[in-house]
Amino acid sequence: MPVHFVIVGGGPAGVEAAATASRLGAEVTLVEREVVGGAANLWDCIPSKAMIATGGAIAMTHRSAALGLERAPAGVDLDALRERVRSISQGLASSTTRQLESQGVRLVRGSGRLVGPHKVQISPYEPEGQPVDPFVVEADAILVATGSTPRVPEWAVVDGDRVLVTRQAYPPSRVPDHLVVIGSGVTGVEFVHMFRSLGSRVTLIVSRQQVLPQKDPEVAAALESDFLATGVKLVKGARAVGIERSGTGVVVSCDDGRSVAGSHALLAIGSIPSSAGLGLEAAGVQRTESGYVPVNHHCQSSVPHIYAAGDLSGRLPLASVAAIQGRKVAEHVMGLHTREHRHLDYDKAASAIFTEPEIADVGLAEAEAFALGRKIRVTKVPFATNAKAMIDGDPRGFVKLVSDPATGVVLGGSIVGAHAAELISVIAVAVTAHLRVQDLSETLFVHPALAEALSAAAE
Ligand SMILES: Cc1cc2nc3c(=O)[nH]c(=O)nc-3n(C[C@H](O)[C@H](O)[C@H](O)COP(=O)(O)OP(=O)(O)OC[C@H]3O[C@@H](n4cnc5c(N)ncnc54)[C@H](O)[C@@H]3O)c2cc1C
């Protein structure tokens, strides 16, 4: 009898687990209540980057004179942009659905909840209001991968009009005159960049003294100076504690007594796990106080045949991490971990921030190494010395490579600059495969290419 594997939630974690497990011979049921591809596809990664791509094209026009162009295009067509965002998400959802169906995965559009350690109750989506009875499926193994939703603090009333969460901004009915962004983590700064390039005035409320508090200070400083150069106002060391609607907009009040007026406010202050109502208690699965499902290195919950992956697991909230967790879960369910199974090393996950310039990093950061008292070698090469960056008219930023001074093994790196999110993959491979700086410096890169800056940093 094949293993019956039931997955609740069809985001990157659920989809990758379903595809891998069915390839390995499991009978797979995947329950998704909205769209295959999950929030990543519908609300988070894909729509935000599609909007940023449009903003990037506009930003490019500001450099057009340097490239020898005479005229820059004018405004943004919000309807066309909305349609573009929708069609990219829909196209991705359709191709993923087709792929899973061709692999024999049983896809059910509906809501799933655990009603026992081996039982999942599925309430199917009701087409055109026709009631469809819930039914229960038996499972040998279960994965809960229901993701997370934007956090809304008790002091804010989100109305979808003037006070928004990220999911209401793809795009809003009109480009805000003056957007006040609350939260200066990755999501906050990406939305600052998105709306700044679409033409809004933007004020960012930064609770600490630096945007991106988790990142290398030099990287954060590079982003801050770019924000300031494009007219973004930074209100530092202030924590938002209230939002009032005024006649023409909003007023955000801060804990130090300052207040910031704008036409709209956008909350980007993290997310909460979607674990309420999932029946985890009925199955004996433990949750943390904040609702995450703690897991071991195989993503097993406190009940060994019930797994959690993606944002729900409380590890790195990235689609890329969710997908690889999903794959590892499927391999574990199918017994593959006894052979070639390598544990996930979350410290080696590459991540990117799609601002202008882009920011990306992987592995050990310089500041982190100092804090740990670890000896490192740091080399830094500015893109201003790179031929392709000059040809493209965008020589901002740098590559920073962190290596072990004794062995030369690459430990990490940061990139600020055009296409940083693509370029970081080279350093990510080096970190995962324990390559040495010499391996990078002796690689024959294309010329002229931005990647040559990596080779130069490795010399
Ligand atoms: C604005 C924004 C931008 C982001 N950009 C990036 C990026 O560029 N790159 C990146 O790597 N990460 C990005 N992230 C993070 C990324 O979106 C998440 O880490 C990722 O979506 C998590 O995947 P997941 O599989 O856990 O679940 P999700 O993608 O959250 O999907 C979970 C799915 O479960 C479904 N579900 C929930 N409950 C039930 C139920 N009871 N029954 C059936 N289905 C259910 C939901 O409908 C949803 O489709 C971004 C996040 C935000 C907020």
Residue 73 has pLDDT above 90, yes or no: no
3-state helix, strand, coil in the chain (%, to 5): 35, 25, 40
Residue 170 has pLDDT above 90, yes or no: no
- Across the chain, mean pLDDT equals 94
Ligand 1: residue whose CA is nearest its atom 26: 310
Q: What confidence tier does 255 reach under pLDDT thresholds 50, 70, 90? A: very high
pLDDT at 160: 92
Q: What confidence tier does 173 reach under pLDDT thresholds 50, 70, 90? A: confident
Q: 18-27, 121-130, 403-412 — which is least confidently predicted?
A: 121-130
Pair 216, 239: CB distance under 8 Å: no
Mean pLDDT of all residues in 225-240: 95
Q: What confidence tier does 74 reach under pLDDT thresholds 50, 70, 90? A: low
pLDDT one-digit tens code per residue, 264-295: 999 999 999 999 999 999 899 999 999 999 99
Mutate to test the pocket of ligand 1, among 36, 44, 182 (most ligand atoms within 8 A of CB): 44
pLDDT one-digit tens code per residue, 300-356: 999 999 999 999 999 999 999 999 999 999 999 999 876 556 778 999 999 999 998
pLDDT at 60: 81
DSSP per-residue codes, 331-375: HHHTTGGGSSPPPP-GGG--EEE-SSS-EEEEE--HHHHHHHT--
Task: Detail the DSSP E strand segments found in 73-228.
Answer: 106-116, 119-124, 135-138, 141-144, 148-150, 163-165, 178-182, 201-206
pLDDT one-digit tens code per residue, 408-431: 999 999 999 999 999 999 999 999
Ligand 1: residue whose CA is nearest its atom 7: 45
Mutate to test the pocket of ligand 1, among 51, 122, 146 (most ligand atoms within 8 A of CB): 146
Cβ count near 127 (within 10 Å): 8
How far is it, in rounded angstroms, from Cα 108 to Cα 182?
A: 37
Ligand 1: residue whose CA is nearest its atom 53: 44
Q: 28-42, 57-71, 72-86 — which is least confidently predicted?
A: 57-71
Q: What confidence tier does 72 reach under pLDDT thresholds 50, 70, 90? A: low
> What's the CA-to-centroid distance between 79 and ligand 1, angstroms?
25
pLDDT one-digit tens code per residue, 32-52: 999 999 999 999 999 999 999
Confirm or reject: Cβ of 164 under 6 Å from ligand 1.
no
pLDDT at 214: 86
Q: What is the pTM of this model?
A: 0.95
Q: What confidence tier does 204 reach under pLDDT thresholds 50, 70, 90? A: very high
Confirm or reject: Cβ of 37 under 6 Å from ligand 1.
no
Q: 14-23, 75-84, 353-362 — which is least confidently predicted?
A: 75-84
Residue 243 has pLDDT above 80, yes or no: yes
Structural domains of the chain, with CATH:
4-48+79-149+272-338 (3.50.50.60), 163-269 (3.50.50.60), 357-457 (3.30.390.30)
DSSP per-residue codes, 202-241: EEEEESSSSSSTTS-HHHHHHHHHHHHHTT-EEEES--EE
Ligand 1: residue whose CA is nearest its atom 27: 147
Cβ count near 444 (within 10 Å): 6
Mean pLDDT of all residues in 358-373: 93
pLDDT one-digit tens code per residue, 371-412: 899 999 999 999 999 999 999 999 999 999 999 999 999 999
Pairing of β 148-150 and β 27-32: unpaired
